[in-house]
Amino acid sequence: MTGLVNKRVLLGVSGGIAAYKTAYLARLLVKAGAEVRVVMTEGAKAFVQPLTFQALTGNPVHDRLLDDEAEAGMGHIELARWADLVFIAPASADLMARLASGMANDLLTTLCLATPAPVHLAPAMNQGMWQHPATQRNLSSLKALGYHLLAPAEGEQACGDQGPGRLPEPEELLEQIALFFQAPDQRCNAELPGRGLKITLTAGPTQEPLDPVRYLSNHSSGKMGFALAQAAAELGAKVHLIAGPVQLSTPPGVQRVDVVTAQEMLESCQQLQAQTDIFIACAAVADYRVESIADQKIKKQPGQQEMLLKLVENPDILATLATSQSSRPFCVGFAAETQAVEDYARRKLEKKNLDAIIANDVSDTRIGFGSDHNQVTFIYREKGEFYQEALPLASKIDLSRQLLLKIFKLYSKQDLTRS
């Protein structure tokens, strides 16, 4: 990431088991060319030794507010002025509470008050602590004070709980830092191509239950849809992301709605339809569901060698919105195919009355489900004619930016009236 060369990142580390991830983040930042200094709280040192960060960054670790050896005892001011960005990971519930109250009772909180640099927080804590009203109140206060907050990831936690509160992976944190340096003021830039647009996206798989413990689904990770949502927000759009069951953090500036089944996804899309300019259907929606969901776990019977399930068709979310008679948004679909990719995509575009479609070959292991990269063909129609453009292999976030610029340009040519 050339955009990080010579950038000065002050990494703040507060108490939490996730502090081990910050050590890897420090290594990634140094490899990317950034200059990194680390400030640790007393709680952080219970999980990771300062010597670890010193070895990874090549700089001494700072942990004392009153340090006689640091610029005549005013080292915190020097550090505050030095940083281009203060990035705190993990940000514990305690640290968030102290920052929200404006306290400066250790080196890290004092730096946050003294620095002219932006301060980004990556919270990590037990799911109960994260969802507690006090933490959510502090979250709102911090946003009002100008702190930038990254949503925590969901999943299994060190304590054994399941839920939101995990620190995102170091690679994701690195990407957020790189994004800041690429365009630190872009969300306030009135010249952004997506400014004023309202975009609704779907992402991830759906799950169709068979009984209380089983379901039908697919391998979609949701990464492409989340990358599109992130890129759309970067480009100035107001973004709603309707997500199936995935383990991904909500991109900054994106409003997320979590659903499970195809029917729930359709209902959420229809609720947002009247306030949507562009609808991008990236989710891998199950085509069928069982006709009747069993109330109890289905048991294998003695001697049973096969089981028959009666499936019924799920609603076609994209076609429903694309053929609606009122409040029809500009509709873009995805065609994830394993053969004759472009032919199938073009047929889908015609059959579902779409404005554009993005086709990709999921049989290619470099770009299949779960990959961080993709390679697609953008197909659209204009004045009755079909056009297509192949976009080469790239990271999903870079590809998303390219695709959205094409979609915005195509949308701007449409003489549509929207509320």
- Could you tell me the CATH number of the domain that includes residue 77? 3.40.50.1950
Q: Are residues 258 and 387 in the same domain?
A: yes
Number of folded domains in the chain?
A: 2
Q: Given this model, what pLDDT does residue 185 score?
A: 45
**Alpha-carbon span 19 to 371, nearest angstrom:** 26
**Alpha-carbon span 410 to 414, nearest angstrom:** 7
Q: Which two tokens stand for residue 194?
A: 């997506």
Q: Are residues 127 and 210 in the same domain?
A: no
Q: What does the longest C-alpha to C-alpha distance in the chain come to?
A: 83
Q: Are residues 262 and 364 in the same domain?
A: yes
Answer whether 0.75 is exceeded by the pTM: no
Is residue 188 annotated as part of the catalytic site, yes or no? no
**Any binding-site annotation on 226?**
no
Inside any domain, residue 418? no
Q: Domain residues for 36?
A: 2-184
**Any binding-site annotation on 396?**
no
- End-to-end CA distance of the chain: give it in Å, rounded: 41
**Any binding-site annotation on 297?**
yes
Inside any domain, residue 298? no
Tell me how far the alpha carbon of residue 202 is from its chain's centroid. 13
Q: Are residues 256 and 395 in the same domain?
A: yes
Inside any domain, residue 299? no
**Alpha-carbon span 153 to 168, nearest angstrom:** 5
Q: Are residues 152 and 224 in the same domain?
A: no
The residue from 184, 219, 240 where one domain ends is: 184
Altogether, the residues listed in the chain come to a count of: 419
Inside any domain, residue 236? yes
Q: Are residues 171 and 260 in the same domain?
A: no
**Any binding-site annotation on 315?**
yes
**Any binding-site annotation on 330?**
no
Inside any domain, residue 19? yes
3-state secondary structure of 221: coil
**Alpha-carbon span 229 to 138, nearest angstrom:** 26
Q: Are residues 223 and 247 in the same domain?
A: yes
Q: Are residues 252 and 341 in the same domain?
A: yes
Q: Given this model, what pLDDT does residue 72 score?
A: 43
Q: Given this model, what pLDDT does residue 418 score?
A: 39
Q: Are residues 145 and 261 in the same domain?
A: no
The residue from 184, 215, 243 where one domain ends is: 184
Q: Given this model, what pLDDT does residue 274 score?
A: 94
**Any binding-site annotation on 409?**
no
Least confident of 70-79, 211-220, 296-305, 403-412: 70-79
* Residue for token pair 């470099």: 366
**Any binding-site annotation on 334?**
yes
Q: Which two tokens stand for residue 305?
A: 């060698």
pLDDT digits (tens, 9 = 90+) for 292-348: 999 999 998 888 889 889 999 999 999 999 999 889 999 999 998 878 888 899 999
pLDDT digits (tens, 9 = 90+) for 223-258: 999 999 999 988 889 999 999 999 999 988 899 999
The residue from 165, 184, 203 where one domain ends is: 184
Among 159, 188, 269, 331, which one carries the catalytic annotation? Answer: 159
* Residue for token pair 């609606």: 324
**Alpha-carbon span 28 to 318, nearest angstrom:** 40
Write the single-letter amino acid at 285.
Answer: V
pLDDT digits (tens, 9 = 90+) for 8-47: 999 999 999 999 999 999 999 999 889 999 999 999 999 9
- Could you tell me the CATH number of the domain that includes residue 271? 3.40.50.10300
Least confident of 123-137, 160-174, 188-202: 188-202
Q: Are residues 354 and 390 in the same domain?
A: yes
pLDDT digits (tens, 9 = 90+) for 261-273: 999 999 999 999 9
- Left, alpha or beta for 67 (phi > 0: left; psi -120 to 50: alpha)? beta
Inside any domain, residue 300? no
